[in-house]
Each structure stands twice: as structure tokens, then as C-alpha cells.
Structure 1
Amino acid sequence: MEKAKVYFADFRATLTENLQQKLTRLLKTAGMGTIDFDKKFTAIKIHFGEPGNLAYLRPNWAKTVADFVRERGGKPFLTDCNTLYVGGRKNALDHLDSAYLNGFSPFTTGCHVIIADGLKGTDEAYVPVEGGEYVKEAKIGQAIMDADVFISLTHFKGHESSGFGGCLKNIGMGCGSRAGKMEQHNAGKPQVDPSPCVGCGMCTRICAHDAITITDKKAHIDHDKCVGCGRCIGVCPTDAIGCGYDESNIVLNRKIAEYTKAVVDGRPCFHISLVIDVSPNCDCHAENDVPIVPNVGMFASFDPIALDQACVDAVNAAPVNPDSLLRDAHERHHIDDAHDHFHAAHPDTNWQSALEHGEKLGLGTREYELIKI
């Protein structure tokens, strides 16, 4: 396969070009303007940040991308799907509150915010995964699949399960509905925690397979009947139903790649990653730590695999920040010169598995040409 082109710009600014203008120049040079945006609904997938986290991308970056689309006649909207875990983004109302709290609103970004899988995370499209080994039909937020054009805008960072949170993680896990997220994280079926369960019966009413019963005012799931759709997770008012998070990190990464393929297949796509405030963990955390490396720059490509590989290479080539989790890991494990910052920070992860599987699926190539502007 021919090398993919990945375009790069550092974070240096001048008196005549600020960083938002530099990002616009990067998008133009990388060819994003060749996409036909005219009258096209354009999903811009971004992570709005869990309340309490300060490492997420500033809304100014989202405005730059949205303006780029709108200036070419497109109809952009910022989007994400609800979370599987309990937090500030588990339903559309809380999710919108969190997005607004962190600065994402039509007034700051120039476009609307839509939570793609709806009020309770159950508005989903079933999308075939061509060549999928683990997932045959991905559960993707409906609004994302309704879009004509798909753009990913990613905060590149570390991740405690996938090794790093990059383009594939933003798309594959981020675009999954609550049931889709469960399918990626969990090797089995939903489970009931009896302590918060109040026996309200909402889960029994949503289950299409009669797999849930109420006994002694507690829900019980018959896993022989359950198909693992996860809709009960979305409707439970006390968050008593959840998944076991028992999938291996390697399989998790491969499922993320397969979900990514479901999202991007069959329509124009473009991908942007900003390697800035490289926190050791996901923006889903309600806190963030010292960045593990200094800020690197902005990357853009039509190829999501090459984009993630280029960002990984750039981070691994960067020096370790003092007083960071990564420096602590180096000292704890007596590492003098680790070439893999992500594995050093989270030794139980295997980030290569996502890129290897994505390449196998035809998502792109790890071979790239880095073009600096």
C-alpha cells in the first residue's frame, strides 16, 4: 500500500498568524477543502470533557473546524455519544450541561451540539462491519450515521485501557451508543447491582427478549435470553445495570477498530488530532494530571491509521515531562530511556493492536509521509 500523507504544524504562532489561523492553513494544505460540504450535514466528533477535567480541547479549536465547513456551504454540528459509566455525560441532558459548562455552545463554536445517541443513549443505528471478526453489526449513535460527512477532531492523549486515546478511540468508542460501548468493553452481558436497584420495572419494559424479571423488588437478567443489546443500561434510572468491563485490552482495541470502520465506511471523512496537554488518562476522567510530554503540534490526514501512528511516533520522540505520571513510571520500573511512553505509563495496554487490526480491515496504513507546513 502507498504511504499515506499526514500533515503537521507545530504550535508556534506569529504576529500575523495565530494558532486557529494556522489550523485552518493546515486543513487547507491537507486537502480537507476538497470534500464537497455544500448543503451537507457534517458531524464533527469531539470529546466535550468530563466536568472537572481541564485537558480536553478548547472550544476555539472546534469553532475553527466548524467555520471551515460552514464557509464551504456545509451544515456542521458538534457531536458525541453518551457514556456507559455514571458521570456527567450519561444522558443527553447531563451531557449538554457538561458541554456547555466546558464552553461548547452555538455562541462559542458557531454550530449546534447534538448528542448522537439521544436522551438515554438508546437512539442507535445498526451498521454492518465489513470484515469484522468481533463485531458484525456496530451500534452507532443515530445522528452520526445520519450525517453526510464525518470529521473527527481528537485530543491525543494517554489511555488506561487502550494505551492512547487517538483518532480510532475518538471514533470507535466515542461514536458507539451506550449498548455499543458495552459491546466493546464487555465480553458478556449486562449485570445488575442489587444495591441501587429499586425494582421499578423500566428495564423489563424495554427488554424485547423477556430476559429481565423483577423478584423481591430487584431486577434479574436471564443471560440465556439476553442478547446483550444494552438498552436496559440506558433506561435504568438508578444506574443499577451496567457491564462488567471484562474484555481484554487487546480485544477492546480490535473492537474499537471495527467500530471505527462502521462509522467511516461509505462517506467522505477527514481526521484531525491535536497533540496538546497530553494527559496520561482519558478526558472521561473528572480530573487530569500533568501532561506526560510537552505539547507537540497539530496533525491532519484522510487516513485515521496513519494519523494515529504519526501522533504516537511524535509523542514517543518527545522528552518526558518531570513530575508526571510517566516520569513516576520510569522511576518505579527503573526505565532509563523508554521508547514507548504509552506502554510505560500503562504497562497492561497494547496500543499497537488497534492499528494492526485497523490496517488489516482496510481502514488505512501505518506507513506514512509526514508533511510539515
Structure 2
Amino acid sequence: MEPSKVYYTNLHTTLEENLLQKLRRLVKAAGIDSIDFKNKYAAIKIHFGEPGNLAFLRPNFSKVIADIVKENGGKPFLTDCNTLYVGRRKNALDHIEAAYENGYTPFSTGCQILIGDGLKGTDEQIVPIDGEYVKEAKIGRAVMDADIVISLTHFKAHECTGIGGAIKNLGMGCGSRAGKMEMHSAGKPFVDRSLCVSCGMCFKNCAHGAISFPEKKAQIDHDKCVGCGRCIGVCPADAVQAAQDEAFDILNRKMSEYAWAVVKGRPGFHVSLVLDVSPFCDCHPENDVPIVPDVGIFASFDPVALDTACADAVNGQPVLPDSLLAKRGAAEKDHFHALHPDTNWRIGIEQAVKMGMGSAEYELVEIK
């Protein structure tokens, strides 16, 4: 496969051009205007940030992309899917409130917010992909209903996948609750019986008769459970939880196969901002100091090449003193592995290439 073009610009500005204008110039140079947006729905996949975290992307960046889509006759919307874990983005109502709290509103971004997998994380579309690990991906329906997919990613480190780039934004981020559970877990959900309040909501929403109440506490029969995750979404006490016991390498491979389910067969474009490179995901309700200096903005039609270029750029940066990376092993060439030794981000890249999503080889085109 030939190298893919990845466009890059640094974060320096002038009196004549601010960073938002520079982002606009970058994505136009990278070819975003070549997409036929006319009367098409364009899903802009973004992470709104868990409240309390301040490393997530400012909403100003998403407005630049939404405005370009609208200028080309398209209908953009910002989207993310509900989380598997306990937090402020577990259902659509709380998720939208969290987005508003972090500045993402129709007024600041110029477009609406749609939570991709609905109110409780169960509104999904089954996408056949016949992958090595995933045969049918469970993707948020609003994401799949879109004609075009654009990823706008805060590139960072990640405690499970090594990096949090475009592939993770698309794969893990667009999976429904059941999809996220499939990626994270080798098994089925379980009940923390100390948290169960015996309300019966899980029982009412189980279509397979897998839930019973011995000693007035919920219990899941894994022989009957199909792993749909609906019980997780409806539990008011967060007593039903995913096992999250999948090996990190397999998690990375599943995630890449999910990302392929999202992008295959329709136009896409991908932007990653390598700034505030935090050691953990923006799903944390806090963020530690960046591990390296800010790098710049990258854009490409190829999410695989984009992730590889961003990872290489971070690995080429000096380690910031007093960062978590400095404490864990700054001497290692791969910053991500030094930070999270149990992870290997290259596994996800390898799987994405195998699926035909893109190329790990890239030509970096600098836009000054």
C-alpha cells in the first residue's frame, strides 16, 4: 500500500492568523472540500470530555469543521456514544448536559448534538464486517445514519490502548453500550450485589430471562445472557457492570475492527490535535499535566496514517519534567509504552491495516 498523505501544521500563530483560522487552512489544504457534502448528513465524532477533565478539545475547534461542512451544503452534527462506565455521560440526557457544561452547545459550535446510541445506549445498528475478532459490530444508530463521518480527536495517551487517537475515537467512541462491552470484555456483565437495590429494572429489560433475584439481589445467568448490555444502562444504582477483562492487545484489535465498521463504504475525513497530551483518557474526571510539549494539528483521509504520524510526533518530543511519563520511564524511545507498559498501540495499527482501513506508511506534508 502506498504511503498516505498526512497534513500537519504547528501551533504558532501571527497577528493575521489565529489558531482556528490555521486549522481551517490546514483541513482545506488536506482536501476536506473535495467531499460531496451537498444535502448530506455529516457526523462529527468528538469526545465532549468528562466534567472535571480540562484536557478535552475546546468547542471552538469543532465549529471550524461544522462551518466548513455547512459552507459546502452539508448538515453537520456533533456526536458521541454513551459510556460503559459510571460517570456523567452514561445516558443521553446526562451526556448532553455534560457537553453543555464543557462548552459544547449549538450556539458555540454552530450545530446540534446527537448522542449516537440513544437515551440508554441501546439504540444501535448491527454492521457486518466479518473481522478476525468481531463479526458484527454494534454501532450507534445516529452515527450509521450519517452519510459522512469526520473524526475530530484530542490525541493523547491511554491506559488500555496505549494511544487515544482517531481509531479509538471512531471504534470505541462509536460503539453502543453492547459494542463497548464486546470490546472491553471477554465475558458477560456481572452484578455487584452490595450495590443492588432490588428495583427490578434489569429484570424488566432482559429479553432472555437471564436475571433472577436470589436473596432479593439481582444475579445474571451467563448461560442465558447474550451480552447486550441493556441491564447496565437501566440500573439506577450502577450495580450491573461489564467485566472489562479482555487482554489489551485483543481490545486494540477489536477496537480497530469497530473503527472499520464505522468508516467503511462512505466518505470520511480525520483531524487530530496533538496538544495537552495527557497520560490518560478524557473519560477521566480529572487530567494530569501533559507528558510532552504541544506538537500541532494533523489531518488526513486515512485514520491509520494519521494515528501513526501523531504517535511518531509525540515520540519525537522531549519528556516534560514532573510529568507522569518522567516518573515512569522517560528513557524509553516509545513514550506510550513507557507510560503504560502493559499496552502496545502498534497492535491496533496493525489490525487496522489488516482490515484495509488505511496505511501505516505516511508522507507528512507541512502547512506553514
TM-score band (shorter)? Answer: over 0.9
Letter paired with 1:5: K
Task: Name the structure 2 match of 1:94.
Answer: 94
Please state whether the residue corresponding to 1:173 is helix, strand or coil: helix
Task: Name the structure 2 match of 1:33.
Answer: 33
Q: Check if 1:353 corresponds to 2:352.
A: no
Equivalents in 2 of 1:39, 1:217: separation in Å? 54
Cα distance per residue 1:334-362 (max 9 Å; x no partner): x5x32100000111111110000110110
Worse-superposed segment, 211-220 or 294-303: 211-220
Offset of residue 365 of structure 1: 0.7
Task: Name the structure 1 match of 2:113.
Answer: 113
Cα distance per residue 1:78-97 (max 9 Å; x no partner): 00011101111111111111
Task: Name the structure 1 match of 2:160.
Answer: 161
Cα distance per residue 1:302-353 (max 9 Å; x no partner): 11110000000000001111110011112xxxx5x32100000111111110
5 Å-filtered alignment, 1:16-27, equals 16-27=16-27
Cα distance per residue 1:277-312 (max 9 Å; x no partner): 000000001110110000000000011110000000
Offset of residue 214 of structure 1: 2.2
Task: Name the structure 1 match of 2:61.
Answer: 61
Cα distance per residue 1:17-37 (max 9 Å; x no partner): 111111111111101110011
Q: How many residues align?
A: 367
Query: Tell me, which stretches of 5 or more residues in structure 1 are unaligned?
Result: none
Q: 1:367 aligns with which of 356, 361, 368?
A: 361
Cα distance per residue 1:10-68 (max 9 Å; x no partner): 10111111111111111111011100111111100000000000000000001111111
Task: Name the structure 1 match of 2:14.
Answer: 14
Percent sequence identity is 67
Task: Name the structure 1 match of 2:209.
Answer: 210
Task: Name the structure 2 match of 1:314.
Answer: 313
Equivalents in 1 of 2:234, 2:199: separation in Å? 11
Task: Name the structure 1 match of 2:186.
Answer: 187
Task: Name the structure 1 match of 2:198.
Answer: 199
- Is the contact between residue 9 and residue 372 of structure 1 (CA under 8 Å) also seen in structure 2? yes
Q: Check if 1:292 corresponds to 2:291.
A: yes
Offset of residue 128 of structure 1: 1.0
Please state whether the residue corresponding to 2:149 is helix, strand or coil: strand
Please state whether the residue corresponding to 2:243 is helix, strand or coil: coil
Equivalents in 1 of 2:268, 2:113: separation in Å? 19
Offset of residue 215 of structure 1: 2.4
Cα distance per residue 1:228-285 (max 9 Å; x no partner): 1111111112111111110000000001000001100111111100001000000001
- Is the contact between residue 184 and residue 256 of structure 1 (CA under 8 Å) also seen in structure 2? yes
Cα distance per residue 1:161-212 (max 9 Å; x no partner): 1001001011100001111111100000010111111222221222121111
Letter paired with 1:366: A
Please state whether the residue corresponding to 2:55 is helix, strand or coil: coil
Q: Check if 1:44 corresponds to 2:44.
A: yes
Task: Name the structure 1 match of 2:129.
Answer: 129
- Is the contact between residue 206 and residue 232 of structure 1 (CA under 8 Å) also seen in structure 2? yes
Name segments (4+ residues, structure 1) moved above 2 Å.
none
Worse-superposed segment, 246-255 or 215-224: 215-224
Task: Name the structure 2 match of 1:147.
Answer: 146
Please state whether the residue corresponding to 1:174 is helix, strand or coil: helix
Task: Name the structure 1 match of 2:250.
Answer: 251
RMSD: 0.9
Letter paired with 1:258: E
- Is the contact between residue 279 and residue 289 of structure 1 (CA under 8 Å) also seen in structure 2? yes
Query: Tell me, which stretches of 5 or more residues in structure 2 are unaligned?
Result: none
Offset of residue 216 of structure 1: 2.5
Letter paired with 2:159: E
TM-score using structure 2 length = 0.98
Q: 2:335 aligns with which of 308, 323, 341?
A: 341
Task: Name the structure 2 match of 1:273.
Answer: 272
Cα distance per residue 1:111-136 (max 9 Å; x no partner): 01111111111111111124x01111
Equivalents in 2 of 1:21, 1:345: separation in Å? 34
TM-score using structure 1 length = 0.97
Letter paired with 1:115: I
Equivalents in 1 of 2:154, 2:59: separation in Å? 12
Letter paired with 1:32: I
Letter paired with 2:361: E
Equivalents in 2 of 1:197, 1:17: separation in Å? 56
- Is the contact between residue 179 and residue 233 of structure 1 (CA under 8 Å) also seen in structure 2? no
Letter paired with 1:229: C
Equivalents in 1 of 2:87, 2:37: separation in Å? 35
Equivalents in 1 of 2:315, 2:197: separation in Å? 49
Letter paired with 2:313: A
Equivalents in 1 of 2:114, 2:214: separation in Å? 38
Please state whether the residue corresponding to 1:121 is helix, strand or coil: coil
